[in-house]
């Protein structure tokens, strides 16, 4: 559901390690999921998406895993770099809802040197 | 290619003053348009969305209104701003249902 009013959880990762950011979504009827990255003072940017007929999708250094049984989504970032420091949001879209995306709480990723 | 423009980037307004934020999309037709607000360190709250000219849906009761006078123009307005209207306002568009959004660069609104 909506994430207004919640403080962002923070994940601290050392440079070069892999990062895993988790998200629990709310609606079993959701059929499309997206991960966004938001750097300070900027609008969110698309990272990767996945449809509900898949359970894994890979991009450049990123992998999204979808577990529909437990309504869980994760974003894996390989060899995390300082430029990956940002807030990451998952979003879900339920079919037939005028493309309205419901955003998760967001997780702040801090990459330490 | 499609682009989205949002302005101004920052705005400081006194309490009780009016507001008009504009968002335009280029390179596409009949997009779905959205206004979101983000408080500092918080998530994204959907304020309004529009699936066509003159069609506005409001998600939360508030001091703001939205209008879509042209296919690719979305305006966020207020007649009298409140302190609680401060935040980071984001416009976004999508081309179809079941597609991701492309966000604008945002407007940082501070009410004093």
Instruction: Give tens-digit pLDDT for B48-66.
Output: 999 999 999 988 877 899 9
Say if residue B110's pLDDT is above 70.
yes
Q: Are A106 and B43 inside 8 Å of each other by CB?
A: yes
Cα nearest neighbour of A97 on chain B: B97
Residue B108, SS3 per DSSP: strand
pLDDT score of A4: 39
Q: Are A3 and B42 inside 8 Å of each other by CB?
A: yes
Cβ partners under 8 Å of residue B39, min gap 6:
A4, A5, B45, B86, B87, B88
With 0-12 / 13-18 / 19 or more C-beta atoms within 10 angstroms meaning exposed / middle / buried, residue B108 is middle
Q: Are B102 and A46 inside 8 Å of each other by CB?
A: yes
Confidence of residue B98 (pLDDT cuts 50, 70, 90): low
Residues of A in contact with B46 (CB under 8 A): 2, 100-101
% residues pLDDT > 90 (chain A)? 70
Tokens representing residue A45 in the block: 């940017």
Q: Are A4 and B90 inside 8 Å of each other by CB?
A: no
Give the C-alpha separation, B57 to B34, whole Å.
10
Min Cα separation A45/chain B (Å): 7
Mean per-residue pLDDT of chain B:
91
Mean per-residue pLDDT of chain A:
89
Tokens representing residue A29 in the block: 């009827």
Residues of A in contact with B97 (CB under 8 A): 93, 95-99
Cα nearest neighbour of B45 on chain A: A4
Give the C-alpha separation, B31 to A58, whole Å.
28
pLDDT score of A14: 97
pLDDT score of A1: 39
pLDDT score of B106: 95
pLDDT score of A42: 92
Cα nearest neighbour of B5 on chain A: A43
% residues pLDDT > 70 (chain B)? 97
User: Where is pLDDT greater, at A77 or A104?
Assistant: A77
Residue A88, SS3 per DSSP: strand
């Amino acid at each position: 559901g909506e994430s207004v009013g919640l403080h962002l959880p923070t994940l601290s990762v050392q440079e070069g390690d892999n990062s895993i950011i988790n998200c629990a979504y709310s609606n079993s009827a959701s059929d499309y999921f997206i991960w966004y990255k938001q750097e300070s003072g900027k609008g969110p940017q698309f990272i990767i998406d996945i449809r509900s007929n898949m359970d894994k999708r890979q991009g450049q250094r990123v992998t999204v895993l979808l577990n529909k049984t437990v309504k869980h989504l994760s974003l894996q970032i390989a060899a995390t770099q300082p430029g990956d420091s940002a807030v990451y949001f998952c979003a879900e879209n339920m079919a037939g809802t005028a493309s309205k995306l419901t955003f998760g709480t967001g997780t702040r990723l801090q990459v330490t040197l | 290619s499609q682009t989205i423009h949002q302005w101004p980037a920052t705005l400081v307004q006194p309490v009780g003053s009016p507001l008009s934020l504009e968002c335009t999309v280029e390179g596409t037709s009949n997009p779905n348009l959205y206004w979101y607000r983000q408080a500092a360190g918080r998530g994204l709250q959907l304020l309004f969305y529009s699936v066509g000219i003159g069609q506005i849906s409001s998600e939360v009761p508030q001091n703001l209104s939205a209008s879509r006078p042209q296919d690719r123009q979305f305006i966020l307005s207020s007649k009298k701003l409140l302190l609680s209207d401060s935040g980071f306002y984001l416009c976004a568009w999508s081309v179809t249902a079941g597609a991701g959004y492309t966000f604008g660069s945002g407007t940082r609104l501070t009410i004093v």
